[in-house]
Amino acid sequence: MTEETPGFEEKPDVPSGATPDGAEPKDATPSPEEEASPAGDSVQTTAGLTAELDQVRTALSERTGDLQRLQAEYQNYRRRVERDRVAVKEIAVAGLLTELLPVLDDVGRAREHGELVGGFKSVAESLETVVAKLGLQQFGKEGEPFDPTIHEALMHSYAPDVTEDTCVAILQPGYRFGERTIRPARVAVAEPQPGATPAAATEEKTDDEESGGTEEV
């Protein structure tokens, strides 16, 4: 009589590589599709990152252009404001100096008549110094050619000793402020005598006659 050990059942021997219940063994080698899948995902990820980087670069370029245009507009605005500020200042100073011209004319007449003495002389010289610092310049001298852009002819005459329209007397000096003429010089003008030989030509003719001698035959 054979004794059986309770709780243990004999199992048939299973060859190596075989699966229980008659199932076929699974091949552990990955398929070509499985091998190519990680590489494909990497390519797609790189392409996506490249596209995003291009978008970021485009946006950055657009924002940089906007910033440069804004900066240029601001610089132009600052230049316009500064130019307008200087222009307004010049207009204001020119207006003030124009109002002081009659006073300067009185000072000039007093100086010509020898009345600029004492305290009045000190005040007048201080006034002339101040307006000169502000940029006021006086012009107009006897003997200079007449220029209608800066001279105003109040008197007219003819003179045999001038070769062109000449300022022979300054009735009122002219004044300029920077490039702006705030009052032309008021002058008396002399023109060459009609039909008269200019003095320079007369002198040249006289010199030729004196240098010429009797030719020997």
Condensed to tens digits (0 to 9), the pLDDT of residues 60-106 reads: 988 998 999 999 999 999 999 999 998 999 999 999 999 999 999 99
pLDDT at 162 over 80: yes
Q: Residue type at 114?
A: G
User: Average per-residue pLDDT in the chain?
Assistant: 80
**pTM listed for this prediction:** 0.57
Domain co-membership, 84 together with 160: no
134, 157, 187 - which closes a domain: 134
Domain co-membership, 130 together with 65: yes
- Look at residue 46 in the predicted model and tell me its pLDDT: 84
Domain co-membership, 123 together with 75: yes
Domain co-membership, 127 together with 149: no
Residue 128 in domain: yes
pLDDT at 111 over 70: yes
How many domains is the chain partitioned into structurally? 2
Opening angle at CA 32, ends 29 and 37, nearest 5? 110
- The pLDDT tens digits of the residues spanning 4-59 come to 545 545 555 555 555 555 555 555 555 555 554 556 677 778 887 888 888 888 88
- The pLDDT tens digits of the residues spanning 116-126 come to 888 889 999 99
Opening angle at CA 85, ends 82 and 90, nearest 5? 125
Q: Residue type at 157?
A: S
Domain co-membership, 187 together with 108: no
Domain co-membership, 129 together with 144: no
- Look at residue 169 in the predicted model and tell me its pLDDT: 94
What is the DSSP-derived secondary structure letter of residue 166?
E
Find the domain containing 187 and state its range: 136-200
Q: Strands 151-159 and 185-192: what pairing? A: parallel
Residue 76 in domain: yes
Contact between residue 129 and residue 107 where contact means Cβ atoms under 8 Å apart:
no
Beta bridge partners of 167: 189
Residue 9 in domain: no
Contact between residue 178 and residue 134 where contact means Cβ atoms under 8 Å apart:
no
Going by pLDDT thresholds of 50, 70 and 90, the confidence category of residue 198 is low
